[in-house]
Structure 1
């Protein structure tokens, strides 16, 4: 029964991830959209740490070497609900969105190795920006920038111990999806507007290597270290680009008047090289505190297409992220108190997103876009099982209102189910 349930849930979850739209952020305008870090709800509830963390019961998306510690077949599914408030100099806007963030399955291979496979959203585009040009108090020109779509990542990950305390892992991923970016321009006094549209299908691979080392200290303390490297890779992009004039009815419906050009386009997008390393200290199934430091190369310009490219309004720089967090588990096998078996998590992160933007469009006031988040979470064990329901809460701020930019305040509610069993892949025997 459990096998059928997992297979059915896996199929439904995979369909939902591919079909969904994940972002409403204006900062999804850059590149291939808002990038999603591969994190479980458990990891994000600790500020995003995990490169050094070893866990027998939960998956780890940051470091493939952590698969070596899996001792139970584990199915994990996670989603989030986001409440977003956007502020600029003279206005504000609110909204919310829901999304499925991952569906994954992992299992041990012998006593020293493990394997996992899954599907996750990789990036999402969901912006709508309006630029006005004034002649005195009157609007002279309007330009609307809109984008939809996103990419997903299908991955397979393997980790194994080379010797006591030291494990390594590799992960291969396949990124796929589609994007659409539109620029609609209208000039006061003209009957028709013009629209530039670019549609792209993206495909490409990704490779990650990781390592972890654990050393036992005095009083059963464990020292953990880890590092992971995601190598730069090219995504092929194929699609169409066209420009046309149009009229817009009072209802908002668009009617194409004349196609100025319509052509096929193709090119490559290079995903940047990324490294993350960290250290942690703790006691097994009791408590853990760790830090992560991540660096990401600047995004390079695309070739043959317009999705990625520096301009007067923005350019790319090297990104970084620092995270600190951990968990506390009062008593794993407590009989007298359920709350003693709950895992309490918390953490914070500070991120430099790798984008410099100037809301004035002149290029003279480029400002780094930063992101900050504070997290708490709880792992609620299910009765008579090793499985758990995990819930996390995150409050964060992204961007700034300086130089005519937009500041985001967001609140995320994250929920996951982690199902563990030692019998999923065993054949039942009849004497």
Structure 2
């Protein structure tokens, strides 16, 4: 049954994942869009921790060394529904999006190694903003509309192996790909044609992540673990075209292009420096767990012609601190289903590395920071499978310096389907 579900889901996943828009944030205009840190629903529900944590049946998108402890073939996928309230001081606007977060497969190799591969978005662009100029009577004399769509996805393959009793190492290779389109249209009263400035860019690149974990059990049956993950510096290459042309609009609002004023090639790259994540945790096997995690990365650099040449924003150092864990009352309880439920919670403080000058003159930059509180449930099913629910309340940005504050609620739901006999030969068919 699990394999039938997998085949069906695989048929609809690839096209939907690549085509979907998972963002309604104005901040998705910058760089490659609204970036998502690759984490499972279980990790997000615990504030984003995972570099030190490993489990015999759950996936881990933070540290490839965690797959050394995988003991069952696991298919996992997750979805995200996001509701955002945008504030700029006087005005408030609501938006929401729903999309697939990831689809992945993992399986053990012998008793000391594991392998995983999957597909997931790493950024999304999705915004629509307008700015109008009015005359003394309140009539609109000029209207400018800013729109963006697209995003970047990644395909990854991960291998982890236990090299000593308490030490595991891992490596992950990824390939990133996607398309981003940004446009600015301008209409003026008593002018027949409008103008459109459009950028259409293809993003491609690869990356390598190295990981290590240490885990030991004390005399009091407490599990102490620590982990580190290093995502090596890599480039995301950007190619495409920038167009400036005149157009008119039909009665239904569709574009009718007229004359092309200019057509310029886009060629550049985002240089992503080394990202370091490390953390430690303490727990009791199949009972409870708590961990702290810190992530750090220097500022992005850009080469070539990209929209990051705009002096109204720039990149700085980014970092994240997460604290979280779970409680599992009684994994083998017969009398109470809720004793077999995993209860997760966490908190996250993050500097995104994006700095914006609301005045637009490039002299007064404000950090765009992110704060979130999360909790979740792991609802057990048959054969070690589970339905995972995650909830997160948070705030990103600020209304100071003419910026926008986002208050958001994230609801995540996914399945972790475990097949204990995937690589075992059947004796009776």
TM-score bucket (shorter structure): over 0.9
Which position in structure 2 is the counterpart of 1:410?
A: 408
Looking at structure 2, the residues matched to 145 and 298 of structure 1 have their Cα atoms a distance apart, in angstroms, of: 26
How far did residue 39 of structure 1 move?
Answer: 0.6
Looking at structure 1, the residues matched to 137 and 48 of structure 2 have their Cα atoms a distance apart, in angstroms, of: 47
Alignment partner of 1:148 is 2:118 = no
Looking at structure 2, the residues matched to 241 and 10 of structure 1 have their Cα atoms a distance apart, in angstroms, of: 35
Which position in structure 2 is the counterpart of 1:113?
A: 113
How far did residue 88 of structure 1 move?
Answer: 1.1
Determine helix, strand or coil for the equivalent of 1:22: coil
Which position in structure 2 is the counterpart of 1:279?
A: 280
Unaligned runs of 5+ in 1: none
| More displaced 10-residue stretch of structure 1: 35-44 or 5-14 | 5-14
How far did residue 251 of structure 1 move?
Answer: 4.6
Determine helix, strand or coil for the equivalent of 1:370: strand
Looking at structure 2, the residues matched to 146 and 370 of structure 1 have their Cα atoms a distance apart, in angstroms, of: 23
Which position in structure 1 is the counterpart of 2:71?
A: 71
How far did residue 336 of structure 1 move?
Answer: 1.3
Alignment partner of 1:183 is 2:184 = yes
Determine helix, strand or coil for the equivalent of 2:13: helix
Unaligned runs of 5+ in 2: none
| More displaced 10-residue stretch of structure 1: 312-321 or 256-265 | 256-265
Q: Deviations over 1:300-358 (max 9, x none)?
A: 1232x324x24332111111111100000011111111111110000010111101112
| 1:137 to 1:355, Cα distance in 2 relative to 1, 3 A | farther
Which position in structure 2 is the counterpart of 1:423?
A: 421
Q: Answer yes or no: is the 8 Å Cα contact 1:181–1:198 preserved in 2.
A: yes
Determine helix, strand or coil for the equivalent of 1:31: coil
Looking at structure 2, the residues matched to 267 and 166 of structure 1 have their Cα atoms a distance apart, in angstroms, of: 40
Counting only pairs closer than 5 Å after superposition, residues 380-419 of structure 1 correspond to structure 2 as: 380-383=379-382, 385-419=383-417
Which position in structure 1 is the counterpart of 2:319?
A: 320
Which position in structure 2 is the counterpart of 1:254?
A: 255
Q: Answer yes or no: is the 8 Å Cα contact 2:268–2:302 preserved in 1.
A: no
| 1:73 to 1:378, Cα distance in 2 relative to 1, 3 A | same
Which position in structure 1 is the counterpart of 2:158?
A: 157
Q: Answer yes or no: is the 8 Å Cα contact 1:3–1:424 preserved in 2.
A: no
Q: Answer yes or no: is the 8 Å Cα contact 1:14–1:103 preserved in 2.
A: no
How well do the aligned residues superpose, as a CA RMSD in angstroms? 1.9
Q: Deviations over 1:228-276 (max 9, x none)?
A: 0111212232222211122345653333232111244333232332111
How far did residue 141 of structure 1 move?
Answer: 5.0
Which position in structure 2 is the counterpart of 1:269?
A: 270
Looking at structure 2, the residues matched to 394 and 257 of structure 1 have their Cα atoms a distance apart, in angstroms, of: 47
Alignment partner of 1:22 is 2:19 = no
Q: Answer yes or no: is the 8 Å Cα contact 2:283–2:290 preserved in 1.
A: yes
Looking at structure 2, the residues matched to 272 and 218 of structure 1 have their Cα atoms a distance apart, in angstroms, of: 41
Alignment partner of 1:3 is 2:3 = yes
Aligned length: 428
Determine helix, strand or coil for the equivalent of 2:302: coil
Q: Deviations over 1:367-414 (max 9, x none)?
A: 10011110010101014x211111011111111111111111111110
Looking at structure 2, the residues matched to 185 and 362 of structure 1 have their Cα atoms a distance apart, in angstroms, of: 21
Q: Deviations over 1:42-74 (max 9, x none)?
A: 000000000000111200110000000100011
Which position in structure 1 is the counterpart of 2:123?
A: 123
Looking at structure 2, the residues matched to 275 and 255 of structure 1 have their Cα atoms a distance apart, in angstroms, of: 49
Which position in structure 1 is the counterpart of 2:362?
A: 363
Q: Deviations over 1:109-160 (max 9, x none)?
A: 1111000000001110001233456788876754332110011110000000
Q: Answer yes or no: is the 8 Å Cα contact 2:131–2:145 preserved in 1.
A: yes
Q: Answer yes or no: is the 8 Å Cα contact 1:17–1:121 preserved in 2.
A: yes
Q: Answer yes or no: is the 8 Å Cα contact 2:130–2:143 preserved in 1.
A: yes
Looking at structure 2, the residues matched to 266 and 365 of structure 1 have their Cα atoms a distance apart, in angstroms, of: 29
Which position in structure 2 is the counterpart of 1:373?
A: 372
Looking at structure 1, the residues matched to 25 and 215 of structure 2 have their Cα atoms a distance apart, in angstroms, of: 39
Determine helix, strand or coil for the equivalent of 1:11: helix
Looking at structure 1, the residues matched to 401 and 134 of structure 2 have their Cα atoms a distance apart, in angstroms, of: 18
Q: Answer yes or no: is the 8 Å Cα contact 1:105–1:117 preserved in 2.
A: yes
Counting only pairs closer than 5 Å after superposition, residues 41-60 of structure 1 correspond to structure 2 as: 41-60=41-60
| 1:251 to 1:10, Cα distance in 2 relative to 1, 3 A | closer
Q: TM-score, normalized by length of structure 2? A: 0.95
Which position in structure 1 is the counterpart of 2:349?
A: 350
Looking at structure 1, the residues matched to 186 and 244 of structure 2 have their Cα atoms a distance apart, in angstroms, of: 11
Looking at structure 1, the residues matched to 153 and 356 of structure 2 have their Cα atoms a distance apart, in angstroms, of: 26
Determine helix, strand or coil for the equivalent of 1:14: helix
| More displaced 10-residue stretch of structure 1: 290-299 or 165-174 | 290-299
Q: Answer yes or no: is the 8 Å Cα contact 2:19–2:150 preserved in 1.
A: no
Which position in structure 1 is the counterpart of 2:170?
A: 169
